[in-house]
């Protein structure tokens, strides 16, 4: 007699494994868990066959269970149960930890309910299913187990990944292929039986509370807790303020001394979490009364865990999981051993400078005030890492921290930090997690890593060493928004103090960074600026050489070349054989590389750069190149002119360079070669090389934080660099691309918007369409299914998902999305859009096509005709019609012809757009453009220069900032004024208009002549300053580029690029040409912008941008650069 007898004839192989599992529930729990896992593997494989579900990206049980389509069939409850059995089976196979009868009974309880669900809904015997029953352990006691020899064979079989099962799967695929008719007949019989069944599972108790408890059990076990120890579960506590005076705590976690370390209260839903907090607090009071030690409080609903250290006066916080016994005991011990930080000594040998002590004291004050995050802004070269090391030393000695994690975004910076900790804290073991040997022997106090490496180490599931309570302090090197966007899951996982380090000036740090550290926007914990460091003598100032060449400034015009050069021009391999009349300056060093231009730059560097060895050798120099080809071209020209150096003096050091770290170490050595490092985005930040005397800016930079990082490569002190007693007093910056002018004290760089990943944008836009399309049921159904597939594909066990699991569970079906109100839809998209999902399409072109259709559908719902999106879809269709030699394209020729024309769009409906999306998205990849090959020339260029000037470091004053905000608000309140309307709507301004605008500000008491003049000078003109306050009317920006788009053919990526220009014009009023080569434009297209816009299109866009700028300047005055 077996609990599973009702499937004996329907699914004999599944029944066999289920029966084996129940036969070992008591005699060998490990084997029972193994067979339970094998049972669901067989059952899930069968369901994939009969339900026609495509095989997922990886053909194993985990991938099958977590596939979005299967999850939509199984539903949340069954999906949880399947994963629970899978995890129990994996533990039984791969771990040596004991497996007891509690685990095996748990596995069989869940297996029984899974089989009931599957047989009732997906078999030919629904009316034979014992609905409403539970697994009976007494039946299991009477089952016959295998012999010991069979057991040994079975465990070994699973330890070697069950090769026989893999072969069985292979055979199943062959049989499936050969017996399609038989499978179809089986599916028909199942459908008939399902239609005829007269029973239901409405009365079935699915034991959701038990499953929820099992989830908490799993997380507790992952933290090393033995839940079968005495008094752990349902511990009775007396002396409570209740009617009975007693209660039962769900879990009490005990220390080695027999005292309670923590109490855990489990609650059913998120709505009852607050009730769980109050109940857990009451239990903690009772335990404290009984044992004279207050436990730490946890309360959880299975998906979201809260920790409340109320003894330490910290408010409750969400944590990624539970603490281990050692971690909790340490937390309890610190109540008496942790010393006050105020006034604690700081090791002067590590950080002896007054400003270093000052910023450490500020962090001490913040941590002492129960703030768990701190952000330090310190100029490049002022010793951020040493300051962090000194703080760690102080915190360790004061018993605030035991283990520390230092994170950086580059391997070079990780090594540099590792070396610093080892040098200054030799008594503390430091482990570089990038080093496999060190990682295997990891028993350190300080750990260093890149963000991706740490993400991988955390995401090892139960095998991870680094649980939520492992680190007491996490340090983020160069904390900025990209770290927040990509890796915030790390900071959500570790329940630690958090210290951010950045050299970005505080007025340039974005809001998200301050939010990450839970501090007021614009107010870091402490700051030490570049101008302060130079004034104090801790850093050296740069001396700027404002240089350029005719080609870099103006581009190359065919008419300006001599006859010989024109002949060379005509012979170059231009794109598609079309010879242009001119080349814009931004093309140089992007795809056109001119020998004479590079030669002039190198000649000036070698003649006027700071030299060592009594002037015989150029000092250490970094050349910042635009791209890899440009860097290689510079090295080639250097080696051509200076063959005596045998190719060792100047070397390319980029992420593509073999042994780049070795080259960097050689470059750091004053006595070793190379002297010149040609870098592309590798030596811009963090690398500490005091002997650098010259910087060459051979690229345009439009990120202010990046610019200051680059300048910071030369600011470090270098005693005796020119010989004994001759220290480094300054360094030279040869700026050939106008960066100093752009970032001078008289110009505020516009803040780039951080682009969301494409998959995130799709979720957000689909959620918006779902809310907007009420009344369009077919479209809403399709959108809800897309959203459900995405959320169902989110890996629930991924550590980054843990704190969002409720939203994953609640929105994993189409009906959940379709039935939600607008507020819940928007909130769900916010929680889920940025999470990983197996349902994310690998084709970027298909996703971009989806986005275009979404924009068209949203516009149609608003009664608008989105010309940009529709024209782009039309252009894609036109291109595809030229590629009908591809069978997939030819099959959709009729639809493509319609979409490419105008008539199809006249009365387009949401359904038509959705149909086009589904049928054409897979073809979008065939509409990609051609790639511009590099062009090498040797036209005679001309060097331009001005006198070297001292760089001004003073940042914008507070008064001017306030004036700017007041002026912005005042102008926005006077948008009906003629001059303001002209400014906003891109009409040409006159001197009279500017006088009127100035009068508006003065009459409103916003500022006086001096303040207004200062602001105008800062922005290179009053019109440009005022335009930056109010932005450009969006309709005006659309009209400006709609005309251009109507005349040209653009891909989906090109159209998104133009949309970004329109967005920035709307915000900032102007867009400089150089911005098109920086973020967020490079987030949209990572390749060469000239490849994205060939045939002179980019020049036309640039001309339009120039026109917008010039219209904000009076026509009587000459435009300023």
Q: Using an 8 Å Cβ cutoff, are 129 and 6 in contact?
A: yes
What is the rounded average pLDDT of the residues 582-591? 83
Is pLDDT above 90 for 1099? no
Query: Largest Cα–Cα distance of the chain, in whole Å?
Result: 104
Higher pLDDT: 208 or 105? It is: 105
- C-alpha distance from residue 568 to each of 321, 433, 666, 938 (Å): 68, 54, 41, 9
Distance (Å, rounded) from C-alpha 1029 to C-alpha 1112?
A: 12
For residue 835, the model assigns a pLDDT of 85
Beta-carbon contacts of 1053 under 8 Å, excluding residues fewer than 6 positions away, are: 848, 1084, 1085, 1092
Is pLDDT at 704 greater than 80 in this prediction?
A: no
954 — pLDDT class (breaks 50, 70, 90): very low
pLDDT at 748: 43
Q: Say which residue, 97 or 340, is predicted with more confidence.
A: 340
What is the full DSSP assignment across 533-599?
HHHTTSSPPEEEEEEEEHHHHH-EEGGGS-HHHHHHHHHS--GGG---SEE-GGGBTTTEEEHHHHH
Percent helix, strand and coil across the chain, each to the nearest 5 = 55, 10, 35
142-170: pLDDT as tens digits:
765 555 555 566 556 555 544 544 454 44
* Amino acid 46: pLDDT: 93
Q: Which of 225-239, 314-328, 567-581, 768-782 has the lowest mean pLDDT?
A: 567-581
Q: Which domains does the chain have, with CATH numbers?
A: 5-206 (no CATH), 209-337 (3.90.1570.30), 354-533 (3.40.50.300), 542-742 (3.40.50.300), 758-927 (no CATH), 958-1111 (no CATH)
Is residue 390 within 8 Å of 350, Cβ to Cβ? Answer: yes
The answer, yes or no, to whether the previous bond of 776 is cis (omega within 30 of 0) is no
Predicted pLDDT at 830? 87
pLDDT for residue 165: 44
Query: What is the number of alpha carbons within 13 Å of residue 879 lying toward its C-beta?
Result: 20
pLDDT over 70 percentage in the chain: 85
What value does the mean pLDDT take over residues 77-88?
86
> In terms of pLDDT, which residue wins out, 390 or 659?
390
Residue 384 predicted with pLDDT over 60: yes
Q: What is the pLDDT of residues 707-760, one digit of tens each?
A: 888 888 999 999 999 988 899 999 999 999 888 887 764 344 444 445 567 888
Highest mean pLDDT: which of 622-636, 818-832, 893-907? Answer: 622-636
pLDDT at site 173: 47
Tokens of 6: 């009702």
Q: Which tens digit of pLDDT belongs to each residue from 516-556?
A: 787 776 778 888 888 888 888 889 989 888 898 888 888 88
- Considering 424-428, 578-582, 748-752, 802-806, the range whose residues carry the highest mean pLDDT is 424-428
- In order, the DSSP letters of 349-395 are TTS-SHHHHHHHHHHHHHHHTT--EEEEEE-TTS-HHHHHHHHHHHH
Q: Which two tokens stand for residue 1059?
A: 């949309």
d(CA 358, CA 1116): 53
Phi, psi of 235 (to 5 degrees): -80, 130
Question: Which pTM was predicted?
Answer: 0.64
pLDDT at 958: 29
Q: What mean pLDDT is reported for the chain?
A: 83
Residue with tokens 């149960």: 81
Condensed to tens digits (0 to 9), the pLDDT of residues 312-367 reads 888 899 898 899 999 999 999 999 999 999 888 999 999 988 889 989 998 999 89
CA distances from 361 to 383, 625, 912 (A): 16, 40, 64
Q: Which long-range contacts (CB under 8 A, 24 or more apart) does 125-131 make?
A: 125/6, 125/7, 125/9, 125/10, 125/193, 126/193, 126/194, 126/197, 126/199, 127/193, 127/197, 127/198, 127/199, 128/6, 128/10, 129/6, 129/199, 129/201, 130/6, 131/199, 131/200, 131/201, 131/203, 131/204
CB atoms within 10 A of CB 10: 16
3-state secondary structure of 342: coil
pLDDT at residue 1020, rounded to an integer: 80
The predicted pLDDT at position 697 comes to: 95
Q: Is the pLDDT of residue 1019 over 80?
A: no
């Amino acid at each position: 007699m077996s609990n599973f007898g009702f499937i004996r004839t329907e699914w004999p192989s599944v029944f066999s494994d289920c029966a084996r599992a129940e036969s070992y529930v008591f005699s060998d729990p490990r084997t029972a868990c193994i067979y339970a896992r094998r049972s669901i593997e067989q059952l899930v494989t069968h369901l994939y066959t009969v339900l026609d579900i495509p095989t997922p990206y990886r053909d194993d049980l985990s991938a099958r269970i977590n596939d979005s389509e299967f999850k939509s069939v199984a539903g949340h409850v069954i999906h949880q149960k399947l994963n629970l059995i899978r995890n129990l089976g994996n533990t039984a196979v791969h771990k040596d930890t004991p497996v007891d009868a509690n685990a095996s009974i748990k596995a069989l309880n869940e297996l029984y309910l899974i089989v009931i669900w599957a047989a009732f809904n997906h078999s030919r015997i629904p009316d034979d299913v014992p609905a409403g029953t539970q697994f009976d352990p007494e039946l299991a006691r009477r089952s016959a187990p295998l012999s010991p020899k069979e057991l040994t064979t079975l465990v070994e079989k699973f330890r070697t990944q069950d090769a026989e099962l893999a072969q069985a799967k292979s055979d199943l695929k062959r049989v499936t292929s050969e017996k399609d008719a038989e499978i179809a007949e089986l599916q028909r019989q199942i459908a008939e039986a399902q239609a005829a069944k007269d029973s239901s599972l409405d009365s079935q108790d699915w034991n959701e509370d038990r499953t929820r408890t099992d989830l908490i059990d799993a997380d507790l076990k992952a933290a090393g807790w033995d839940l079968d120890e005495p008094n752990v579960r349902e511990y009775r506590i007396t002396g409570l303020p209740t009617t009975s005076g007693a209660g039962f705590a769900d879990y009490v976690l005990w220390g080695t001394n027999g005292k309670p370390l923590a109490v855990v209260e489990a609650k059913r839903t998120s709505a009852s979490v607050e009730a769980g907090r109050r109940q857990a607090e009451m239990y903690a009071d009772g335990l404290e009364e009984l044992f004279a030690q207050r436990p730490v409080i946890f309360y959880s609903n299975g998906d979201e865990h809260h920790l409340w250290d109320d003894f330490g006066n910290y408010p409750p916080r969400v944590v990624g999981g539970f603490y281990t016994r050692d971690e909790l005991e340490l937390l309890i011990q610190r109540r008496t051993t942790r010393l006050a930080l105020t006034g604690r000594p700081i090791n002067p040998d590590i950080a002896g400078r007054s400003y270093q002590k000052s910023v450490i004291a500020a962090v001490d004050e913040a941590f002492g005030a129960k703030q768990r995050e701190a952000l330090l802004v310190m100029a490049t070269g002022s010793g951020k890492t040493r300051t962090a090391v000194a703080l760690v030393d102080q915190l360790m000695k004061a018993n605030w921290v035991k283990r520390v994690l230092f994170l950086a975004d580059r391997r070079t910076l990780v090594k540099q930090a590792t070396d610093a900790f080892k040098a200054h804290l030799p008594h503390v073991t430091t482990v570089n997690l990038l080093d496999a040997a060190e990682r295997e022997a990891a028993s350190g106090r300080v750990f260093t890593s890149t963000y991706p490496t740490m993400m991988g180490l955390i995401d090892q599931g139960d095998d991870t060493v680094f649980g939520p309570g492992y680190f007491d302090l996490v340090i983020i090197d160069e904390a900025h928004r990209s770290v927040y966007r990509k890796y915030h899951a790390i900071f959500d996982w570790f329940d630690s103090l958090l210290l951010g380090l950045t050299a970005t000036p505080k007025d340039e740090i974005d809001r998200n960074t301050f939010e990450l550290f839970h501090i007021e926007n614009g107010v870091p914990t402490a700051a030490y600026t570049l101008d302060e460091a130079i004034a104090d003598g801790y850093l050296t100032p740069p001396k700027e050489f404002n240089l350029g060449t005719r080609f870099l400034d103006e581009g190359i015009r065919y008419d300006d070349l001599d006859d010989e050069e024109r002949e060379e021009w005509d012979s170059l391999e231009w794109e598609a054989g079309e010879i242009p009349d001119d080349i814009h300056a931004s093309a140089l060093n992007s795809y056109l590389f001119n020998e004479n231009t590079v030669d002039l730059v190198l000649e000036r560097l070698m003649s006027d750069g700071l030299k060592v060895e009594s002037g015989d050798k150029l000092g250490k120099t970094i050349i910042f190149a635009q791209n890899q080809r440009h860097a290689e071209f510079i090295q080639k020209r250097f080696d051509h002119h200076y063959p005596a150096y045998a190719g060792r003096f100047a070397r390319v050091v980029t992420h593509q360079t073999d042994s780049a770290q070795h080259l960097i170490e050689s470059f750091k050595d004053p006595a070793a070669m190379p002297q010149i490092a040609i870098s592309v985005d590798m030596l811009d930040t963090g690398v500490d090389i005091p002997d650098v005397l010259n910087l060459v800016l051979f690229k345009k930079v439009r990120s202010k934080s990046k610019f200051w990082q680059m300048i910071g490569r030369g600011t470090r002190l270098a005693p005796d660099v020119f010989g004994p007693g001759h220290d480094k007093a300054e360094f030279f910056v040869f700026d050939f691309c106008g960066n100093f002018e752009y970032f001078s004290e008289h110009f505020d760089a516009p803040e780039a918007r951080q682009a969301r990943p494409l998959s995130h944008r799709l979720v957000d836009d689909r959620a918006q369409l779902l809310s907007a399309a009420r009344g369009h049921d077919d479209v809403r159904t399709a959108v809800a299914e897309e959203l459900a597939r995405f959320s169902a594909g989110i890996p629930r066990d991924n550590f980054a998902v843990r704190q969002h699991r409720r939203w994953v569970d609640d929105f994993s079906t189409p009906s959940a999305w379709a039935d939600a109100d607008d507020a819940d839809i928007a909130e769900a998209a916010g929680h889920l859009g940025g999470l990983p999902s197996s349902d994310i399409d690998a084709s970027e072109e298909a996703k971009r096509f989806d986005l275009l259709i979404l924009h068209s559908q949203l516009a149609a719902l608003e009664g608008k005709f989105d010309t940009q999106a529709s024209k782009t879809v039309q252009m894609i269709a036109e291109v595809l019609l030229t590629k009908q030699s591809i069978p997939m394209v030819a099959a959709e020729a009729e639809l493509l012809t319609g979409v490419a024309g105008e008539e199809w769009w006249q009365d387009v409906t949401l359904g038509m757009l959705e149909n086009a999306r589904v049928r054409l998205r897979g073809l979008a990849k065939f509409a990609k453009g051609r790639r511009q090959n590099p062009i090498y020339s040797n036209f005679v260029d001309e060097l331009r220069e001005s006198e070297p000037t001292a760089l001004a470091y003073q940042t914008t004053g507070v008064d001017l900032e306030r004036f700017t905000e007041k002026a912005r608000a005042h102008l926005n309140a006077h948008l009906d004024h003629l001059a303001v309307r002209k400014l906003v709507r891109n009409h040409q301004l006159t001197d009279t208009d500017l006088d009127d605008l100035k009068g508006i500000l003065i009459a409103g008491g916003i500022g006086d002549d001096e303040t207004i003049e200062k602001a105008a000078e800062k922005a290179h003109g009053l019109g440009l300053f005022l335009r930056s306050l109010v932005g450009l009317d969006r309709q005006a920006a659309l009209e400006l580029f709609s005309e251009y788009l109507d005349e040209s053919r653009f891909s989906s990526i090109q159209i998104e690029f133009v949309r970004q220009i329109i967005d920035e014009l709307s915000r900032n009023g102007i867009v400089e040409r150089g911005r098109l080569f920086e973020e967020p434009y490079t987030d949209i297209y990572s390749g060469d912008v000239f490849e994205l816009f060939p045939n002179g299109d980019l020049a036309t866009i640039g001309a339009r941008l120039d026109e917008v700028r010039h219209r904000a300047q009076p026509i009587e005055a000459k435009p300023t650069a």
